[in-house]
């Protein structure tokens, strides 16, 4: 572990001297940092068994955002992730309940900041874009910036994950009517008022879906920014279980649909039940009008039962929609009680910044 830390510190020093050199990017990066001098920035890195790379990731973010505090949320790792991260300069928080959602919940509960940057601890996200992402949030008065993943490498994504990402983005758009191109990106920037009104009820990798739906429900201004997605470092393994986590994400979408758009969900269920009722009951009604008798009692009972269930479904949707409306109003008022990124930016303007 000692040799790993020494190697990490050497690589960090090289990046500090030569990686942030000349050119327009360096000027823009410094200009973006000047805007954030008086802002408390927290970099949140949920981790599980990332000892091989976490020190590099911590060092990278501390280099591009010198004034930021880096937090590593150790999600019950069985290796030396916590020790390596602490020696690299990060503050380590421990979350015993396994799952990325649990780690993010702990971070959002414990950490107080003006700006939150969430990324993975595996080194797959482009840390050099961090200052630009934060500046995008402030300049455009946003509450969430999503760094969408783009790569030319076939090894960056596991087999089938790109198609799965496209499919789930389409499902989200169908259920909630909003378009995200990468709902599974774990590289995001949040304002304080986003974080402090986000319930974080998910336990695993479905946390990114919940973040996106929260933004949709609250009408929160957000934007996607394309960034490079790197291959995993040698010796590290993805913690995502394709089929298990994919199923959990789909169930989460359905559950969030029930919570966010109950009228639409229960109206759809009621419509299906009413359609089945008419399909079964129409021949019975026609026969009754012709003969004034009801020979098919089971079909009659089934049709009537389905129509009653349809009515119950519609009424349930109306009731839950009223509850959801009241809940959304309360969340919105809590959201508005926090200062906006625009207010934070204007709080202590920096001369010569040009913003």
Do 177 and 282 lie in one domain? The reply is no
- Euclidean distance between CA atoms 151 and 185, whole angstroms: 13
- Residues near 256 by beta carbon (within 8 Å), at least 6 away in sequence: 209, 210, 213
Q: Does 156 lie in the same domain as 303?
A: no
If asked whether residues 98 and 19 sit together in one domain, one would say: yes
Task: Give the H/E segment covering residue 46.
Answer: strand 41-47
Per-residue pLDDT tens for 153-211? 655 555 556 677 788 888 888 888 877 889 889 999 999 999 999 999 989 888 999 99
pLDDT given at position 353: 39
Question: What pLDDT shows up at residue 71?
Answer: 97
The single-letter DSSP state of residue 90 is P
Q: Are both 92 and 111 inside the same structural domain?
A: yes
Instruction: Give the pLDDT confidence score for residue 342 in this predicted structure.
Output: 77
User: Are both 228 and 324 inside the same structural domain?
Assistant: no
Residue 353 located in a structural domain:
no
Task: Kindly state whether residues 303 and 184 are assigned to the same domain.
Answer: no
Tell whether 46 is covered by a domain.
yes
Cα torsion at 63, 67, 70, 71 (round to 10°)? Answer: 180
Residue 345 included in any domain: no
Question: Does residue 134 sit in the same domain as residue 250?
Answer: yes
Give the pLDDT of residue 209.
Answer: 92
129 and 6, same domain (yes or no)? yes
pLDDT, one tens digit for every residue, the chain (355 residues): 444 444 443 334 333 333 333 344 444 445 444 556 678 999 999 999 898 899 999 999 999 998 899 999 999 899 899 999 999 999 999 999 999 999 999 999 999 999 999 999 888 999 999 999 999 999 999 999 999 988 766 555 555 566 777 888 888 888 888 778 898 899 999 999 999 999 999 898 889 999 999 999 999 999 999 999 988 776 666 666 667 767 888 888 888 899 999 999 999 999 999 999 999 988 888 888 888 877 778 888 999 999 999 999 999 999 999 999 999 999 999 999 888 887 777 765 433 333 3
Mark whether 213 and 90 lie in a shared domain.
yes
> Could you give the CA distance from residue 191 to residue 217 in angstroms, rounded to a whole number?
16
Domain boundaries, position 296? 261-336
Residues 221 and 108 in one domain: yes
Secondary structure of 207-254 in HEC code, one letter for each residue = HHHHHHHHHHHHCCCEEEEEEEECCCCCCCCCCCCHHHHHHHHHHHHH
Does residue 355 form part of some domain? no
Three-state secondary-structure class, residue 153:
coil
Beta bridge partners of 125: 229
Q: Which of 223, 240, 259 is the last residue of a domain?
A: 259
In whole angstroms, give the CA distance from residue 28 to residue 34: 10
In a domain, 341, yes or no: no
Asked if residue 38 belongs to a domain, the reply is: yes
- CATH code, 208: 3.90.550.10
Tell me, yes or no, whether 273 and 255 share the same domain: no
Q: Is residue 268 one of the residues assigned to a domain?
A: yes
Q: What pLDDT is attached to residue 10?
A: 37
Is 171 in the same domain as 246?
yes
Number of domains forming the structure of the chain: 2
The alpha helices in 71-154, defined as continuous H runs, are: 81-87, 100-110, 130-139
Cα distances from 256 to residues 75, 193, 201, 202, 316, in angstroms, run 25, 21, 10, 10, 16
Whether residue 331 is contained in a domain is answered as yes
Q: What is the pLDDT of residue 14?
A: 32
Distance from C-alpha of 142 to C-alpha of 194, rounded to nearest angstrom:
10
Spatial distance between the Cα atoms of 214 and 237, rounded to a whole number of angstroms: 30
The predicted structure's pLDDT at residue 325 = 93
Question: First vs last Cα of the chain: how many Å apart?
Answer: 44
> Does the CA dihedral 206-334-181-157 come out positive or negative?
negative
Last residue of a domain, one of 215, 239, 259: 259
């Amino acid at each position: 572990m000692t040799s790993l830390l020494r190697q990490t510190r050497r690589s960090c020093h090289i990046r500090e001297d030569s990686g942030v050199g000349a050119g327009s990017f360096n000027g823009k990066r410094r200009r973006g940092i000047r805007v954030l001098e008086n802002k408390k920035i927290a970099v949140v890195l949920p981790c599980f068994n990332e000892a091989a790379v976490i020190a590099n990731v911590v060092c990278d973010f501390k280099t591009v955002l010198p004034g930021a505090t880096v937090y590593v949320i150790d999600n019950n790792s069985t290796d030396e992730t916590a020790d390596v991260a602490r020696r690299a300069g990060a503050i380590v928080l421990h979350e015993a309940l396994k799952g990325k959602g649990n780690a993010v919940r702990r971070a959002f509960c414990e950490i107080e900041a003006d700006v939150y940057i969430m990324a993975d601890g595996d080194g797959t996200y482009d840390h050099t874009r961090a200052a630009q992402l934060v500046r995008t949030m402030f300049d455009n008065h946003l509450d969430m910036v999503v760094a969408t993943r783009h790569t030319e490498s076939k090894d960056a994504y596991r087999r089938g994950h790109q198609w799965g990402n496209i499919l789930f983005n389409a499902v989200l758009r169908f259920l909630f009517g909003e378009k995200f191109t990468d709902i599974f990106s774990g590289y995001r920037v949040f304002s304080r008022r986003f974080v402090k009104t986000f319930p974080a009820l998910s336990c695993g990798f479905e946390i990114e879906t919940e973040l996106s739906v929260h933004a949709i429900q609250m009408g929160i201004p957000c934007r996607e920014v394309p960034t490079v997605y790197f291959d995993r470092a040698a010796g590290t393994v993805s913690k995502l279980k394709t089929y298990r986590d994919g199923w959990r994400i789909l169930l989460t979408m359905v559950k969030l649909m029930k919570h966010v758009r109950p009228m639409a969900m229960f109206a759809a269920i009621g419509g299906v039940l009413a359609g089945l009722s008419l399909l079964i009951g129409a021949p019975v009604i026609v026969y009754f009008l012709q003969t004034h008798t009801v020979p098919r009692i089971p079909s009659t009972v089934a049709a009537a039962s389905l129509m009653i269930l349809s009515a119950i479904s519609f009424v349930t949707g109306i009731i839950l929609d009223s509850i959801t409306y009241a809940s959304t109003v309360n969340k919105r008022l809590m959201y508005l009680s926090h200062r906006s990124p625009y207010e934070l930016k204007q709080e202590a303007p920096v001369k010569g910044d040009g913003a």
